[in-house]
Amino acid sequence: MRLAGLALLAALFCLSLFVGNAPLSPADLLHDPAARDLLLVSRLPRTLAAVLAGAALAMTGQIMQILARNRFVEPMTAGAGQSAALGILLITMLAPAAALWIKMSVAALAALAGSLGLIVLIRPLPPTQPLLVPLVALVYGGVIGAVATFIAYQDDMMQYLGIWLTGEFSGVLQGRYELLWLAGLAAGASWLIADRLTLLALGEDAARGLGLNVRAVTAAGLAAISVTTAIVVVTLGSIPFVGLVVPNLVARITGDNLRRALPVTALVGAILVLGADILGRTLRAPFEIPASSMVALVGAVIFIVLLSQGGRRA
C-alpha cells in the first residue's frame, strides 16, 4: 500500500508542476527561461506547500483524536483552527506591523488555548455517548469562529478574516511558504512519541498504570497540534476535514498502532490535499476553486457516513 501511495503522490507531484493557468511542458523548461522561473518561483513551492500541509494536518488530526479519545474530532473544525485565526486577527489589530514570527507565535498560543479548552470541555462527557464529543467540538469551534467574525465585522476586517478561514494555494510563492517545513517537522516529531500516544489511547488510568507520564505526553501532543495549526492558518488559511477523514480511513487499514499508522496518515493526507489543489485548478480553469472547498466537499460526506456508522455501533 505504501509503495502504491508513494507512486500516486509522485505522479500528482509531477502533474502539479505542469498544470495551471499557464500550462508547462518539459520542452518549455529546456528552452524558455520564463517557464523555469514559473516552475521554481510558483509551481514547485505550491506543490511542496500542499504536500507539507496535507501531511501535517492529517498527522495532528490523528493526535487530537487520541487526546480526545474520539475519532470524530480534528483541530481545524474543533476550535484550534478558529482560535488560530482569532489570534492572528487580534495581533493584526493590536500590532499590524508585527513580524510574521510574532503573528505565528500568537496564533500558536491561541490554538493551544483552544485545544486545551476543548479537552476540558469534553472530559466530563459520558463515554457511552461517543457522538456527543464531535457535536460539542463543532459547536465549540463555531462559537469561537462567531467571536472572530463579530470582532472582524466591528473593525471592518471581514476580508482579512476570510483569508485565514479559507485555505488555498494561489498565493503561495517562493519565500512565502517555508514556515510549512516547520509545521511538517512539528507534526513529524510526534512519530518519536508514537508508542506513548498509543498507550494514551487506552485511557489515562491504564496509561499511568503502565508508567506513562500522561501530562508530558499530552503537552507534547497539544504542542504539535498548536504549532502545526497556527502555521498552516498563517500561511495558507484553514483547511478543514483533512485531520478527520484521513486518520479514520487509515485506521481501518493499519489499526491503532501509531508507530505504523502515522507515516501512512501523512502520505494519504499529502495525496488528498495535493489532489484537491490540482482539481481546484482544473475544474473551472482559468478560475480556481480553493483547496479547502474541495477537501470540505469530500470530507463532509465522509464525516456524515462515519457519524452514522458510529451511531449504529453505539
Condensed to tens digits (0 to 9), the pLDDT of residues 76-99 reads 778 787 888 888 888 888 887 777
In sequence order, the 6+-apart residues with CB closer than 8 A to the CB of 262 are 59, 62, 190, 191, 194
pLDDT value of residue 258: 77
DSSP notation for 100-142: HHHHHHHHHHHHHHHHHHHHHHHTTS-TT-TTHHHHHHHHHHH
Q: Which three-class secondary structure state does DSSP give residue 174?
A: coil
Residues of the chain with pLDDT under 50: 311-314
pLDDT value of residue 314: 43
By CB atoms closer than 10 A (0-12, 13-18, 19+), residue 70 is buried
Q: Between 1.10.3470.10, 3.40.50.2000, 2.40.240.20, 3.40.50.12780, what CATH number should domain 2-313 receive?
A: 1.10.3470.10
pLDDT value of residue 100: 74
pLDDT value of residue 311: 47
